[in-house]
Structure 1
Amino acid sequence: MILPALLTSAGFNIVICVGFMSLYSILRKQPYNLKVYFGQRLAQLQPGQKNHYFFDRLIPSAGWLVKAWEATDDDIFACGGIDGLVFIRLIVFCIRIFSVASVLCIFIVLPVNLFGQGVEQRTPESQMDIFTIANVQEGSQGLWAHFFALYVISIVAYVLLYIEFKNVARLRLEQVIRFPTKPSHFTVLVRGIPWSEGESYSEVVRKHFSSYYNSSYLAHQMVYRSGTIQRLMMDAEKMYKVITETPVNQYVQPIAQPITVGVGHMAGYAAPLKKVASDIGTSVKKHKEKSDMKDQECAAAFIFFRTRYAAMVASHMIQSKDPMLWVIDYAPEPHDVFWANLCVPYRLLWIRKTLVFIGSILFSLWFLLPTTLVQGLVNIEKLENTFPSLRGISQRRYVNIISGYLPSLVLTCFVLLVPPVMMMFATLEGSVSRSGRKKSACCKAIIFFFWNIFFYNLFTGTWWDRMGRLTVTGLKDMATLLGNLIPGQAPFFMTYIMTTGWASLAYELMQPFVLIVNWIYQFVLMKKEGYGDLYTFPYHTEVPRALLFNLLGFTFCILAPLILPFLMVYFFFAYFVYRNQMLNVYITRYDTNGSYWPVAHNAAIFALIVMQAVASIIFGMKNFGTASTFAFVLIIFTSLFNLYCRHKFLPLFNNKAAQDLIEMDRHDENSGKLEEILSRLLSSYNKFGSRSGNHPNDLLSAEYKITRSKE
């Protein structure tokens, strides 16, 4: 990519970001946009207070930046939960590590690259190469600057990662103590309940837990099929039974003369219709009481224990010789349960996961087409040589837009498909919690981004650049080939950071889709309340993006330091934007209790290893064997550091501390609060779609309507 193309892309994105943020500072102050930009705050107010919440329109244009800066960690925790705080800590980690990298690489490494003599022929295509390590001659002593920066950045990353892992693990432990009455502390979810002839699942569950957990077992609630189609089928069956079993002559009224049906004559039918409705209701009630619920039971149930410790022990025990039966895990919080997957047979989950794995591979293969197209647009000269019909494009005035801004824009548009597809895959896998489903989609998106956005763009960029000479060099020196050409891909990723990173922050602030729908509701449909749904934070979209930029920063910081200012701009604005959104827009209905940090830690370790491996290869190419060897040794240190962190902190993310649970149980028992907690526990999951397992034929008098959050 030539320098004018990069500057063109920068100009486009700066104009878009400044325009959107300026417009946001105006729109957020308008009273009719409160539900769009202050959903979190409005949800915390009482109904009578909402009419008085118009003071924000008087805040100056930069007021939201000041409030986002002044907010404490407790404020973020109160609005975004522990997951929101962990995500902000991820952004802070990136700011810290790349601030150190910027000081080292901009002031030490970049001058060495700039004054090197490695690029002999200065062509328009190699304008950006003079800022990279490719411009350093082989055997140059200036490579010690790159080696020094590599070691300092790695050591600082170790320290910061250790501190953050320790702090998040502490937050998880404090979370258990801070909310001692959570229903999930006393409840486990059992799936794979074995079928017994002549007995319902509820009876099987009662016998099993009464026999093996008699002292700690409290009660259970079965899970029933309650989907829309199932409810319609149940209603149809009930009405069919009512119609077939109710005598027709009972409701036949003799009519003396024909009656013209109209508004005035409908009163004549009021009494008979009321009697019909009353009798049908009585008949339905009788059928409810007499119906056998065994056919509607799923092989899943919520089991309540008298103590937290008993629930923890049960969740870690294998209940039978067949590990596919009596599978027990901690139950999600009531608001976190994803009811649609509770009735999926446990034995079918491995088939679903296999199909999802195959689907992910096919989706990745399909995504190679737009990635190859994007790299073709970047290498416009090579594209002309491959397709003669396109010759002359490089001489047009708009070539800088084609090779600079258009490729990253096209890739960004295709990337928009990734989060919803990954969310669909995570749903098909059978996750029983909404937070688990979102975390699974996040992990899948991270792998997809790392491979399709990072690695495949490197490979295709290399292929386009060496298309005519690849058959001559062969594949035996592929490492050397990649080492030579990886720095040349930095300009493309700079434009990608601007288009996908900077522009995404402006889009996140504006919320254009919700804003337009709100205007339609208020000014077209004339609804006073307007439109503004309460969304949960899109971790499956934002966490992969931040970690991808983290990978780009580590990989290119010592190879092409000019990428660091673009990253710093993104992370600095991300810090303010995401804090503002958590404080004002998004509402927290559920979270993973900080489980995103191990994912972020593993991604950062992977990025460190990629940085060190690429540096080792390039040092070897530059005939700098000592640095190459020590860079390879650094990979071993990184692996050992990761292993140490996993052994020290990861168990705290997979389990609860037995000491804390026992002390909480003793405190509740001594203070007399235990019975009160247990009495509320029995109804905690009832209203979310389950029915009492102690009385399998007793239907709830009112069905709970699940309000699904927008994800």
Structure 2
Amino acid sequence: MILAALFTSVGINLGLCVLFFVLYSILRNQPENAEVYAPRVVAEGKERRTTAFDLERLLPSTGWAKAAWNLSEDDLLSIAGLDAVIFMRIFVFSLKVFSFAGVIGVFILLPINYEGDQLHSIDLANLPNESLDKFTISNVKDGSNWLWVHFSAAYVMTAVVCYLLYLEYDYVCSKRMLYFYASKPQPHHFTVLVRGIPRSREGSYSESVEKFFSDIHASSYLTHIMVRQTSKLRRLIVDAESMYKKLTRLKSLRNERQRFSSGGFLRLFSQNDTSVEKCEKQLETLEENLRIQRSGASSVGQEVPAAFVFFRSRFSAATAIRIQQSLNPIEWVTEQAPEPRDVYWPFFSSSFTKRWISKLIVILASVVLTILFLIPVAFVQGLANLDRLEILFPFLKSVLTLTFVSQVITGYLPSLILYAFLSMVPPVMKVFSNMQGYISHSESEKSACSKMMLFTVWNAFFAVVLSGSVASQAEVFLDPRHIPERLAVAVPAQATFFITYVVTSGWTNLSYEVTRAKPLVKDFLRRHWWNFLGGELEVPSLPYHREIPSILFFWLLGSTYFFQAPLILPFVIIYFLMGFIVYRNQLLNVYKPKYETAGKYWPMVHNAAIISLVLMQLIAIGIFGLKKLPTASTLTIPLPVLTLLFNEYCRKRFLPNFQNYPAESLIKKDREEQNDPAMPDFLYNLASSYRDPAMKPTRLAAETEPGLSTDLLSLQQRLEID
């Protein structure tokens, strides 16, 4: 790719970014768009905008960016929770790393690459038509002493990244503990999920749980609630709510038509009334079925061998989790219960066999998806090579001779097409994770995040770099001795493609994120064709499984090409700076957390940074060998070893605090609240907080919930005795 093609790609994407940001700054000021650009604020009742005409609403402004930039971390914590704060720390950490890397790369390494003559001398008069390879390490002469500067840069970069990683891990860990100490009593801290409950011959699962925990944990056991089969009930609720929305639309349509009633419309009114009556009867039938099914679900026969068991203190619950409960390790299996809002209830309706089969299907489906994704990758690589494109499509030869067309095709379209295909993958990974039987939305999303990270690294990096089939890609890693050498040949060759990918996928995606084009169109249709679409306000949550892998992929590109093609660094820095402002704005106005993991995503971020660093070092070993500087190649070998040792130390030092809270903290928190007058009420409401939503009364059925009063009465008696 020539420099002019890069300028073309940057120009197109920069124009799109400016256009999107200008549109956003205008559209967000319109009162009718409040539910699109500030749904969280509207849902909380804080949105107060006048409908009177104001010229300032039609002028673009940067006030939103200033508000996002000035938002303090404490304010963000109170608004969006600790997960949002940790998410933003990815941008803070990345800006620290790549600001330092940018100084070294742009002001030291780039001039050295530029002055090299390995390829051929650069003609400044014809600079736009020069290949971008002239700005990479490939242009440094083999055996040149200037390569020792790149060697030193690799060591310095490693030291700085590890130092900042340690500081960030320590900071996030301390924030997690401070968040725990400052939080009010949380139901999941006192709750244990128990599975593998053996059923006694003379009683039910519930009786087995009561007998076992009253015996083993007599002083700390409080009560429990059984999980029940509610899959049919959930389907009925979905049908009833759908019918309720349809009935509401029909009634609204009838009322609207009555305002313009005339003789010619009497027939339409009659047909509409018939539809309304039909829907009302169907809704009554569904509500009756709901009552019957809910009553049946509360019976003993619908119990699942799983239960939420509640304890009087956090320490007692943590002890029950960490200690094997039974001589048989597959019975009475305990684990930390998720937040009540985080529980993924459909999981409990699946048997162990179904979950095992689902996991096998997910593995096979992931392999198939990986293989199929090589098709768009091959197409993208064809677009990036004009000679190959002319061979595949000879009828385009005359068009490809046009300078601007060739620059757009080679500099813009390949990265755009790759991004378009990659954007389809996160929803698929989320479905795969849901199929695996995780007990919470957060665990499912973390699993989807891990899948997406692996998929992105393999398919968006190695598949592009290695340019071949799955077998040819796997062959590179079958012989570990030649991995550095092969990567040293393949990775620098794709530097120009990934520079344009950062601009196309990164910059434009951030501007598209803030504009929220799809919700804007949907809201427009809802307001103008309300009789076809529902009118309920939807407050989205931040899709971590989509955003974190995307951000970390740019981290990988920036670190991998740090000394090979430092020209990528300014574009990466701009991406992280834009992301810092955009996502702060979105967390402030748009997204509302649907769960809180208290920062459990950070270990994934740390591991991804380590992998990126090791990959950079392995490529450095190979490049110095190819550049006939064997001493530098040999001296680089300790780098990945030291990096992995550093990662092992961090894993031992910090990771346990992300898996469980220490006993010291749990006991301290329990003692602080021991005499709190609100604790009896909190313990009394524990059981009701973990009721399956399908078993709770809905707005369509107001009947009391079977079995709840009995459980609460039993719990009240326990509290009174103590």
Alignment partner, residue 96 of structure 2: 96
2:229 maps to 225
Q: Deviation of residue 479 (structure 1)?
A: 5.0
Moved more, 602-611 or 386-395: 386-395
Distance 1:378 1:525 in 2: 46
CA deviations over 1:174-203 (Å, ceiling 9, x no partner): 222111310011101112222334432211
Which of 423, 426, 441 is equivalent to 1:434? 441
Give the superposition deviation at 1:322: 3.5
Q: Determine the structure 1 residue equivalent to 2:657.
A: 652
CA distance in 1, matches of 2:296, 2:438: 34
1:667 positional shift = 2.5
**Contact residue 79 and residue 588 of structure 1 kept, 8 A:** no
Q: Following superposition of structure 1 onto structure 2, how do residues 4-23 of structure 1 map, counting pairs within 5 Å?
A: 4-23=4-23
Cα deviation, residue 60, structure 1: 6.3
**Structure-to-structure mapping, 1:118-133, within 5 angstroms:** 118-120=118-120, 127-133=131-137
Paired residue for 2:637, among 632, 640, 648?
632
Query: Would the alpha carbon gap of residues 324 and 108 (structure 1) be closer, same or farther in structure 2, given more than 3 Å must change?
Result: same
Query: 2:596 matched to 1:591?
Result: yes
1:181 alignment partner, SS class: coil
1:523-602 → structure 2 map (5 Å cutoff)? 523-525=528-530, 532-602=537-607
CA 1:133–1:673: 2 relative to 1, 3 Å: same
Cα 1:589–1:15 shift into 2, 3 Å: same
> In the TM superposition, what whole-angstrom CA distance separates every residue of 1:561-610 from its partner, at most 9, and x where no partner exists?
11111111111110000000001110112122101110000000000000
The one of 349, 365, 375 aligned to 1:369: 375
What letter is aligned with 1:598? P
Does the 8 Å contact 2:227/2:692 carry over to 1?
no
Q: Which runs of 5+ in 1 are unaligned?
A: 237-262, 264-273, 464-473, 702-711
**Cα pair distance change 1:568/1:230, threshold 3 Å:** closer
CA distance in 2, matches of 1:286, 1:383: 65
Structure 2 unaligned blocks of 5 or more = 241-269, 271-280, 471-478, 698-704, 710-722
In structure 1, how many angstroms separate the alpha carbons of the residues matched to 2:468 and 2:7?
Answer: 20
Identify which range, 52-61 or 1-10, moves more after superposition.
52-61
Q: Which moved more, 1:76-85 or 1:440-449?
A: 76-85
- Normalised by the size of structure 2, how large is the TM-score? 0.83
Show the counterpart of 2:421: 414
Deviates more, 1:204-213 or 1:99-108: 204-213
Equivalent residues of 1:519, 1:530 under 8 A apart: no
The 3 A distance-change label for structure 1 pair 291 and 687 is closer
Q: Deviations over 1:352-394 (max 9, x none)?
A: 2232122111111110111111111111213435676765564
CA distance in 1, matches of 2:314, 2:167: 30
Q: Tell me which residue corresponds to 1:452.
A: 459
Paired residue secondary structure (2:156):
helix
Residue 667 of structure 1 is matched in structure 2 by: 672
**C-alpha separation between the residues in 1 aligned to 2:130 and 2:440?**
51
Structure 1 stretch 647-656 or stretch 150-159: which is displaced more? 150-159
Q: 1:159 aligns with which of 163, 173, 177?
A: 163
1:204 counterpart (205, 208, 222): 208
* Alignment partner, residue 412 of structure 2: 405
Q: Which residue of 2 aligns with 1:242?
A: none
Corresponding residue for 2:309? Answer: 303
1:209 maps to amino acid:
F
SS of aligned partner of 2:688: coil
Aligned equivalents of 1:207, 1:391: Cα separation in 2: 80
Asked whether the equivalents of residues 68 and 581 of structure 2 are also in contact (C-alpha less than 8 Å), the reply is yes
> Could you tell me which residue of structure 2 aligns to residue 319 of structure 1?
325
Rate the CA distance shift 1:196–1:532 in 2: closer, same or farther, 3 A: same
Compared with structure 1, are the counterparts of its residues 102 and 678 closer, same or farther at alpha carbon in structure 2 (3 Å cutoff)? same
SS of the residue corresponding to residue 628 of structure 2 reads coil
Offset of 1:686 from its aligned partner? Answer: 2.7
Equivalent pairs counted in the alignment come to 650
SS in 2 for 1:683: helix
TM-superposed deviation, 1:42: 2.0
How has the CA–CA distance of structure 1 residues 462 and 566 changed in structure 2, closer, same or farther, with 3 Å as cutoff? farther
Q: In the TM superposition, what are the counterparts of 1:26-425 in structure 2 within 5 Å?
A: 26-45=26-45, 57=57, 61-120=61-120, 127-228=131-232, 232=236, 293-346=299-352, 348-385=354-391, 394-397=400-403, 398-425=405-432
Report the residue type matching 1:223 in the other structure.
Answer: V
Report the Cα distance in structure 2 between the residues aligned to 1:691 and 1:34, rounded to whole angstroms: 32
Please say if residues 110 and 566 of structure 2, whose CA atoms lie closer than 8 Å, have aligned partners that are also in contact. Answer: yes
RMSD (Å), alpha carbons = 3.6
Question: SS at the partner of 2:661?
Answer: coil
Tell me if structure 1 keeps the 8 A contact 2:236–2:290. no
Q: Secondary structure at the match of 2:592?
A: coil
Question: Is the contact made by 1:192 and 1:347 (CA closer than 8 Å) also made in structure 2?
Answer: no
Q: Does 1:503 align with 2:508?
A: yes
C-alpha distance in 1, partners of 2:19/2:159? 40
Q: Deviations over 1:625-683 (max 9, x none)?
A: 22212221111110111011000000000111211211222232234443232112232
Structure 1 residues 531 and 132: alpha-carbon distance in aligned structure 2, compared to 1, 3 A threshold: farther
Contact 2:133 2:139 in 1 (8 A): yes
CA contact (8 A) 2:39 2:589 kept: yes
Structure 1 stretch displaced more, 561-570 or 311-320? 311-320
Greater shift in the superposed pair: 385-394 or 138-147 = 385-394
Report the CA distance shift for 1:671/1:405 in structure 2 as closer, same or farther (over 3 A).
closer
Secondary structure in 2 aligned to 1:300? strand
Change (3 A) 1:426 1:478: closer
Assess, with a 3 A threshold, how the Cα gap between structure 1 residues 231 and 201 changes in structure 2: closer, same or farther: farther
Q: In the alignment, what sits opposite 2:525?
A: 520
The question of whether the paired residues in 1 share the 8 Å contact of 2:525 and 2:533 is answered with no
CA distance in 1, matches of 2:498, 2:530: 44
Whole-angstrom CA distance in 1 between matches of 2:531 and 2:637:
66
Counterpart of 1:257 in structure 2 is none
Contact 1:518/1:531 (8 A) holds in 2: no
What is the identity, as a one-letter code, of the residue corresponding to 2:83?
Answer: D
User: Which residue matches 1:256?
Assistant: none
Superposed, 1:611-630 pairs within 5 Å as 611-630=616-635
Is this contact kept in 1: 2:31–2:49, CA < 8 A? no
Q: 1:478/1:174 Cα in 2 relative to 1: closer, same or farther (>3 Å)?
A: closer
Q: Distance in 1 between matches of 2:527 and 2:339?
A: 36
Q: Secondary structure at the match of 2:111?
A: helix
Kept in 2, the 8 Å contact 1:338–1:432? The answer is: yes
1:432-454 deviations in Å (ceiling 9; x for gaps): 11111111111110010000001
Distance 1:641 1:53 in 2: 58
CA distance in 2, matches of 1:289, 1:385: 69
CA deviation vs aligned residue, 1:330-355 (integer Å, no higher than 9, x gap): 11111111111123234543432232
1:155 and 1:414 mapped to 2: Cα distance?
A: 36
Secondary structure of 1:302 counterpart: strand
What does residue 496 of structure 2 align with? 491
TM-superposed deviation, 1:223: 1.3
Matched letter for residue 140 of structure 1: S
Helix, strand or coil for the counterpart of 1:304?
strand
Deviations 1:232-266 (A, max 9, x none): 49x99xxxxxxxxxxxxxxxxxxxxxxxxxx9xxx
Counterpart-to-counterpart distance in 1, 2:562 and 2:347: 44
State the AA in 2 paired with 1:358. Answer: L
1:530–1:677 distance in 2 versus 1, CA, 3 Å: closer
Change (3 A) 1:322 1:14: same
Deviation track 1:154-189 (CA, whole Å, cap 9, x = no partner) reads: 111011100110011111112221113100111011
